[in-house]
Amino acid sequence: MGFFDRLSRLLRANLNDLVSKAEDPVKILDQSVADMQTDLVKLRQAVAMAIASQKRLRNQADQAEAQAATWYERAELALKKGEEGLAREALARRKTFQETATSLSGQLQGQDAQVETLKKSLVALEGKIAEARTKKDMLKARAQAAQAQQQLQSAVGNLGTNSAMAAFERMEDKVQALEASSQAAAELAGADLESQFASLEGGSDVDDELASLRQRLEGGPEAVALPAGEPSDSTKVEPVKVAEVDADLEELRKSIDKL
């Protein structure tokens, strides 16, 4: 295969591909119907010309036959008058017109067949154009729906890589992070509140214990001593001194203040 053949085939392939991609179904359908309408106009003109030729041939054939009949009558008249030579000439003229009429009749038969064929073609083309117009609207609607579906699928396919969609998703993640942070802060605040109330409740117990100790101290050294029956010498508890109790009380108060 020669270089120029390969180059020619490559160019034609690329051109055909470009044309195929550039074809818009809606526009092509409209143009196709318009082309068929143009063909219909041309066919109607051809039928009209064929019919006109048919009529002309018929008129010529009728005139030739009429002339042949006229010259036959003249031949009869000449023969009756004894003009045999004149009658012979009239018959010769009659024969010429008869031959012309016969030839025109043959042409007329062919023209009749051609006119009939053109009329059938015209009716068939009109039917095809009517059908094409009906289908055109349906096909245009289907083509437009298919194009819309294709655009939708393309848009959906590009959502993952679209910068606007990516930004939207980032903001959604950020809002979720803020909500989680806010919820965690609320939980921490609630836990702190619980600890404060627990501290207050614990402080009430300490105050009660402190009041109980104060009452016992106000009763004197004897009240501070442990209750006893008759303990043995090895287990005998010495009375608590007030100074030691005050020191313990002061240390307890400091520990409470630190809470």
Going by the DSSP 8-state scheme, the letter that residue 236 receives in this structure is P
Is residue 102's pLDDT more than 50? yes
Are 224 and 239 spatial neighbours (Cβ–Cβ below 8 Å)? yes
Task: Please write the tens of the pLDDT for every residue from 43-64.
Answer: 999 899 999 999 999 999 999 9
The domain spans of the chain are: 11-157
How many CA atoms, within 13 angstroms, populate the side-chain half-sphere of residue 227? 1
Q: Report the range out of 17-21, 168-172, 234-238, 244-248 with the highest average pLDDT.
A: 168-172
Mean per-residue pLDDT, 208-231: 63
**Alpha-carbon span 257 to 259, nearest angstrom:** 5
**231 against 51, higher pLDDT:** 51
**Alpha-carbon span 103 to 94, nearest angstrom:** 14
What distances in angstroms separate CA 209 from CA 59, 202, 204, 228, 240, one per listed residue? 145, 11, 9, 22, 18
**Alpha-carbon span 114 to 117, nearest angstrom:** 5
Going by the DSSP 8-state scheme, the letter that residue 234 receives in this structure is G
Q: Phi and psi (nearest 5°) for 187?
A: -65, -40
Are 86 and 15 spatial neighbours (Cβ–Cβ below 8 Å)? no
Helix ranges restricted to H, the chain: 3-22, 25-80, 84-157, 163-218, 221-224, 242-258
Nearest to 42 by CA among 117, 113, 114, 118: 118
Q: What is the pTM of this model?
A: 0.46
What distances in angstroms separate CA 37 from CA 113, 129, 134, one per listed residue? 25, 7, 14
Q: Report the range out of 12-16, 19-23, 85-89 with the highest average pLDDT.
A: 85-89
Res 56: pLDDT: 92
Is residue 138's pLDDT more than 50? yes
What angle do the packed helices 84-157 and 25-80 form, to 10 degrees?
Answer: 170
**Alpha-carbon span 188 to 81, nearest angstrom:** 148
Residue 97 neighbours by CB distance under 10 Å: 19
Residue 230, classed as helix, strand or coil, is: coil
Res 153: pLDDT: 74
How many CA atoms, within 13 angstroms, populate the side-chain half-sphere of residue 108? 14
Tokens of 163: 């910068």
Mean per-residue pLDDT, 108-132: 89
Residue percentage of the chain with pLDDT more than 90: 20
Res 14: pLDDT: 66
Res 152: pLDDT: 76
**Alpha-carbon span 170 to 180, nearest angstrom:** 15
